[in-house]
């Protein structure tokens, strides 16, 4: 839905589509909307990391927070920028470097690698994720330096090259529920032999909702 600053103060129930700005946590958007609307029962249908931008679905009111699971299971689209030459422990730009390489892949190398990231593939969830194994959240273990075995999960995706200008590689990715874009970045870098991590991420679509339908997330922080 479209909205503006005045509308937000009177928004008490429904689905609000937000274009999350870089540097903000997903929870801070929920918190800001609670302050602006006075509604405490607000949830979301999937978080984004602080460095990521794009579509977030905020669910306002008890009637709509109950719908969270139905939106979590939909297909999604992203624009992702990978930085080649360095891998990190979190597989993204907020992590610590774990390996480096001076190898510069050719465009043909890139195209060959991308052919391995099409259709149904097996992906191992990253340690830095909200996934739980035996009741323990992976990212909490990862922050303690603990790594546990994770079983591969089947995902479906279509990966398209947007631009390649070493060290940056930009991709458009359409994917199924449970896909970790950071893992695609890490695994692609490993396949290329050059290492890589996710440096930028923008979510374009969740199911039938598109970021073009959203309002700027900065509106949530205005006049709080």
Give me the CATH number covering residue 148.
3.30.2350.10
How many structural domains is the chain composed of?
2
Read off the pLDDT band of 17 (50, 70, 90). Answer: very high
pLDDT at 203 over 50: yes
| 49 given a catalytic annotation | yes
Co-location of 53 and 80 in the same domain:
no
pLDDT at 39 over 50: yes
CA-wise closest residue to 13 among 58, 55, 45: 58
Co-location of 98 and 50 in the same domain:
no
Co-location of 88 and 189 in the same domain:
yes
CA distances from 111 to 7, 33, 47, 62, 78 (A): 47, 43, 30, 47, 19
Co-location of 63 and 120 in the same domain:
no
Q: Which of 7, 19, 49, 75 is labelled catalytic?
A: 49
Co-location of 64 and 122 in the same domain:
no
pLDDT at 130 over 70: yes
Instruction: For the chain, give the percent of residues with pLDDT over 90.
Output: 73
Co-location of 58 and 140 in the same domain:
no
Co-location of 91 and 31 in the same domain:
no
DSSP state of 219: G
**What do you get for the CA distance between the two ends of the chain, in Å?**
22
Domain that holds residue 199: 76-206
Co-location of 62 and 99 in the same domain:
no
**Model-wide pTM > 0.95:** no
CA-wise closest residue to 79 among 211, 192, 216: 211
Residue 37 backbone dihedrals phi, psi, to 5 degrees: -95, -20
**Average pLDDT for 141-165:** 93
DSSP state of 126: P
């Amino acid at each position: 839905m479209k909205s503006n600053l005045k509308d937000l103060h009177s928004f008490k129930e429904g689905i609000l589509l937000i274009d999350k700005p870089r540097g903000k946590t997903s929870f801070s958007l929920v918190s800001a909307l609670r302050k602006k609307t006075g509604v405490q029962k607000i949830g979301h249908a999937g978080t984004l990391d602080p460095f990521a931008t794009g579509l977030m679905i905020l669910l306002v009111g008890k009637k709509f927070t109950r719908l969270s699971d139905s939106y979590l299971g939909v297909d999604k689209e992203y624009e992702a920028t990978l930085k080649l030459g360095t891998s990190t422990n979190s597989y993204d730009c907020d992590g610590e470097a774990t390996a480096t390489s001076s190898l510069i892949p050719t465009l043909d190398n890139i195209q060959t690698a991308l052919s391995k990231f099409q259709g149904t593939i097996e992906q191992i969830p990253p340690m830095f994720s909200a996934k739980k194994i035996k009741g323990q959240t992976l990212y909490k273990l990862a922050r303690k330096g603990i790594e546990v075995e994770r079983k591969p999960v089947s995902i479906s995706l279509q990966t398209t090259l947007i631009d390649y200008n070493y060290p940056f590689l930009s991709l458009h990715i359409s994917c199924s529920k449970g896909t970790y874009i950071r893992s695609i970045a890490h695994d692609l870098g490993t396949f290329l032999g050059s290492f890589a991590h996710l440096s930028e991420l923008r979510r374009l679509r969740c199911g039938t909702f598109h970021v073009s339908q959203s309002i700027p997330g900065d509106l949530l922080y205005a006049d709080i």
